[in-house]
Amino acid sequence: MSEPSHKHVVVVGGGVTGLTAAYRIHKLRPDWKLTLLESRDRLGGNIITVREKGFVVDGGPDSFVRTKPAAVTLARELGLEDQLISTRPEGRKVYLAHAGHLEPMPEGMALGVPTRPGPLVRSRLLGWPAKLRLFSEPFWPAGKANGQDESIYDFLSRRLGDAGAEKLAGPLLGGIYAGDIRKLSMRATFPQLIELEKKHRSLVVGTLAMRAEGRRRVKGESAPASRLARARQLIEAAWGTSESPFYSFKGGMLSLIEALAEALPPGTVQLDMALDGLRRDGDRWQLVVGDQKLEADAVVLACPARVAAKLVPGEALSRDLRAIEYLSTATVFFAFDRSTVSHPLDGVGFVVPPGEGEILAGTFINSKWAHRVPEGKVLLRAFLGGARGGDLVEQQTDEQLTQRAFNELERLMGRLGEPEWTRVFRYPKSNPQPHLGHKERLGRLRANGVPRLELAGAAYDGVGIPDCVAQAERAAEAIVRQLA
Ligand SMILES: Cc1cc2nc3c(=O)[nH]c(=O)nc-3n(C[C@H](O)[C@H](O)[C@H](O)COP(=O)(O)OP(=O)(O)OC[C@H]3O[C@@H](n4cnc5c(N)ncnc54)[C@H](O)[C@@H]3O)c2cc1C
Residue from 16, 17, 46, 369 whose mutation best tests the ligand 1 pocket (most atoms within 8 A of CB): 46
Q: Is the CB of 359 under 6 A from ligand 1?
A: no
User: Tell me, what's the pLDDT at 2?
Assistant: 47
Q: According to the model, what pLDDT value does residue 184 have?
A: 98
Decide: 202 in ligand 1 pocket, CB within 6 A.
Answer: no
**Distance (Å) from CA 15 to ligand 1 centroid:** 6
Look at residues 155, 161, 158, 215 and name the one whose alpha carbon lies nearest to residue 191. Answer: 155
Residue of 11, 47, 303 with the most ligand 1 atoms within 8 Å of its CB, for mutation: 303
CATH fold of 49-69+77-90+326-432 reads: Polyamine Oxidase; Chain A, domain 2 (3.90.660)
CATH 3.40.50.1100 fits 109-241, yes or no: no
Whether residue 61 has its Cβ less than 6 Å from ligand 1: yes
- 3-state percent helix, strand, coil for the chain, nearest multiple of 5: 40, 25, 35
CA of 211 to the centre of ligand 1 (A): 31
Taking the alpha carbons of 296, 299, 304, 307 in that order, is the dihedral positive or negative?
Answer: positive
- Please give the CATH superfamily to which domain 8-39+272-323+436-483 belongs: FAD/NAD(P)-binding domain (3.50.50.60)
Return the closest-CA partner of residue 264 out of 12, 36, 1. 36
Atom 21 of ligand 1 has which residue's CA nearest to it?
A: 46
Q: Is the CB of 178 under 6 A from ligand 1?
A: no
97 Cβ inside 6 Å of ligand 1: no
Domain range annotation of the chain: 8-39+272-323+436-483, 49-69+77-90+326-432, 109-241
CA proximity to 71, closest of 471, 394, 343: 471
pLDDT tens by residue, 10-26: 999 999 999 999 999 99
Ligand 1 centroid–CA 464 distance in Å is: 10
Establish whether domains 49-69+77-90+326-432 and 109-241 are of one fold. Answer: no
**Ligand 1 atom having least distance to the Cα of 427:** 53
The pLDDT assigned to 160 comes to 92
Instruction: Pick the residue whose CA is nearest to atom 11 on ligand 1.
Output: 464
Q: How far apart are CA 203 and CA 126, in angstroms?
A: 19
DSSP secondary structure string, 346-392?
-SSEEE--TTS-SSSEEEEHHHH-SSSS-TTEEEEEEEEETTBTHHH
Amino acid at 480: V
Kindly give the distance from the C-alpha atom of residue 459 to the centroid of ligand 1, in angstroms, as a whole number: 9
Contacts 24+ apart (CB under 8 A), 389-397: 389/358, 390/178, 390/327, 390/328, 390/329, 390/431, 391/328, 393/328, 393/329, 393/330, 393/426, 393/428, 394/328, 394/428
Looking at residue 404, its pLDDT comes to: 97
206, with CB counted inside 10 A (0-12, 13-18, 19+), is buried
Of residues 127, 74, 149, 200, the one with CA closest to residue 470:
74
Ranges of beta strands (E only) in 127-276 are 246-249, 269-270
From ligand 1's centre to the CA of 326, what distance in Å? 12
Distance 304 CA to ligand 1 centre (A): 8
pLDDT at 236: 59
304 lines ligand 1 (CB under 6 A): yes
User: CA 140 from chain center: how many Å?
Assistant: 30
What pLDDT shows up at residue 240?
Answer: 56
Does ligand 1 come within 6 angstroms of the Cβ of 248? no
For 92, other C-beta atoms within 10 Å of its C-beta total 20
CA–centroid distance, 47 to ligand 1, in Å, is 7
**Phi and psi torsions of 89, nearest 5°:** -65, -30
Summarize pLDDT for 201-213 with one digit per residue, the tens. Answer: 888 888 887 777 7
Number of H helices, E strands in the chain: 18, 22
> Which residue numbers in the chain have pLDDT < 70?
1-5, 91, 144-146, 214-220, 223-225, 227-243
pTM summary value: 0.92
What's the gap in Å between 324 CA and the centre of ligand 1? 15
Q: Is 227 exposed, middle or buried (0-12, 13-18, 19+ CB in 10 A)?
A: exposed
